[in-house]
Amino acid sequence: MEPIFQQDFPVQELCVDRYGRLKPSTLLYFAQEIAGRHCDELADTLESHRLFWAVTRHRVQINRLPELGETVHIETWPMPNTHVGYPRSIVIYDQAGNECSRSISLWVLMDQDTRSSVSPDKSGIIVPGTLRGTELALPGGLVPRAMEHSCQRDVCFTDLDRNGHMNNTRYMDWIDDLLPSDFHREHPVKEFAVRYHSEAREGQRLDLHWDFVEDNCLRVDARRRNETRDELVFSAKVLFD
C-alpha cells in the first residue's frame, strides 16, 4: 500500500447544494471513497475474515467549499493505529493547489455477524501509518446538554449503504436539513465534528435534538428509544461562517 494516496474528483451536480457549493456530506463521501480505494488491496482479506470498515469519528476544517464544475485533488494517508482503530488524514486541494479542507477520521473494523468492533491487535489487519506533522487531532466527546429544538426522523432505504446501516455521509445531510435554505445561503459550513456512537438501521426512528449553543455553532444529538433506555446514535458540532 502506498504511504500517501492521491486522486482527482470532479465536483458534479449531485455533489453540490442549491447554491452550487460542495455539500458537507460530499466531503465525507470523498473521504470514504478515497479511503476505500487506498485500501482496495485489503478487500479480499477483510471479506475472508468477515470484517468491514466503519467510521466512528470525523473532524473537518474548511477553508473554502469547492463549487460545481471544479476538479479537486485529494491526498490521504493512514496514521499509526490506536488501540481501538485506524486514524486517517485527508487534504483536499483546488486546481490552483490551494487547500480547501483538511480532515481526520477514525475507522474501525466491524464483524459482519456480531456487528461489534474488532480491535487492531485482534483483527490481524495491518495498515502501515505515516505522520507528516500536519494532521488534525481527533475530536473528543461532546458534553450532553439540553437542546431547545427536537424532531423525529426515520431511517429509510436511501439512507443505507451496502453494510446495511445508515451511511456516515447521510448524517450530515440530516443535520443540514435542520436549517432552512436562507440560513445556508449566508452561512456556509466552516468546521464540523461528528461522532457515531451506534448503528442506525432501516426503520428505526431517531429523536433529533439541536440548538445553537453560541453564535453560528450548532449542536446536534440523535437518540434511539428502546425498551429500557435511550441510546445515543450520533452527536455533532457544526460551526458556520
84-109 confidence digits (pLDDT tens): 999 999 999 999 999 999 999 999 99
User: Is 144 a residue whose pLDDT tops 90?
Assistant: no
Grid coordinates belonging to 51: 470484517
Does domain 1-139 bear CATH number 3.20.20.140? no
Please compute the mean of the pLDDT values over residues 71-94 and round it to a whole number: 96
User: When comparing pLDDT for 133 and 42, which is higher?
Assistant: 133
Scanning the structure block, which residue is given the C-alpha cell 440560513?
183
Structure confidence at residue 21 as a pLDDT band (50, 70, 90): very high
Alpha-carbon span 217 to 191, nearest angstrom: 9
Neighbours of 213 (CB within 10 A): 13
Closest CA to 115 of 203, 226, 234, 200: 200
Alpha-carbon span 9 to 7, nearest angstrom: 7
- Helix H segments across the chain? 24-38, 43-48, 120-123, 168-176, 181-186
Structure confidence at residue 54 as a pLDDT band (50, 70, 90): very high
Closest CA to 174 of 208, 212, 217: 208
The pLDDT value recorded for residue 234 is 96
Grid coordinates belonging to 41: 488491496
How much is the pTM? 0.93
CATH class of 142-241: alpha beta
List where CATH 3.10.129.10 sits in the chain: 1-139, 142-241
Q: Which long-range contacts (CB under 8 A, 24 or more apart) does 173-176 make?
A: 173/23, 173/25, 174/208, 174/222, 175/24, 175/210, 175/218, 175/220, 175/236, 175/238, 176/17, 176/23, 176/24, 176/25
